[in-house]
Amino acid sequence: MRVSHLLSLAIASTLAFAPAAFAQSDTASGKRFAVVGSATLIEPHNPTSVIKTDGSPGPSASFSWYVNDNMAVELWGTLDRFNHRLRVNQVGKIGSVKQQPVALSFQYHLGHADNVFRPFAGVGYGYSSFNSLRFLGVPDGTFKVKSANGVVGTLGVDLNINPTWFARADVRYMRSRPDLEANGFGKVESWKIDPWMVSFGLGARF
């Protein structure tokens, strides 16, 4: 599976930079905020939809508030709109659309704050806005796509470089099924996108 392969590569790459342990006089415990900047690949999962949506890469960022060393609330989003190619089997490319997701999640981080390897899991609510929908040979504005929302789940790992800096690899799955509408006809299809989002980035806690 492409997503799991990318996540494995990200974790392996990060391990090369992780130290064996922190100095005894310094600690990550008690720090309540974290900011992460990442490169993200959005890979839609829509095997049953007539219109297929191809994946694309882009930048993302997150801000977390830690209730304690293990529990955190994270606001995550992409810094730009992702451009998706639209296609139909046996036909090829038929158009394009842009998507920008954001998610608010509750996360649980395993282990002590100073552990080099810290897996985490999260669940929350995601929202995606869409624009710039275009179909080849069809006048702009003939079709439009609504925003979508749904549950989002996260699995990831932080690899501590020192008490302030850490590398992060994570994968998210978001339920995202916007309505595709045609002028004068209303809803044409509930467009199943449901993307996997794989990220690899660098964060700081304070």
Q: What domains are there in the chain, each with its CATH number? A: 2-205 (2.40.160.20)
| Lookup result for tokens 């992060």 | 168
Nearest to 55, CA basis, from 67, 74, 42: 42
**Percent of the chain beyond pLDDT 90?**
59
Give 59's contacts (C-beta < 8 A, 6+ positions apart).
37, 38, 39, 40, 78, 79, 80
Radius of gyration of the chain (CA): 19
For 66-99, what is each residue's pLDDT tens digit?
A: 999 999 999 999 999 999 899 888 788 989 999 9
> How far is the C-alpha of 184 from the C-alpha of 38, rounded, in Å?
41
pTM of the complete model: 0.82
**Percent of the chain beyond pLDDT 70?**
86
Q: Beta strand pairing status for 71-78 and 56-66?
A: antiparallel
> What does the pLDDT average to over 151-176?
96
Per-residue model confidence (pLDDT) at position 185: 78
Per-residue model confidence (pLDDT) at position 17: 46
Minimum mean pLDDT range among 24-28, 108-112, 159-163, 167-171: 24-28
- Which letter does DSSP use for residue 205 in this model? E
> What does the pLDDT average to over 8-13?
50
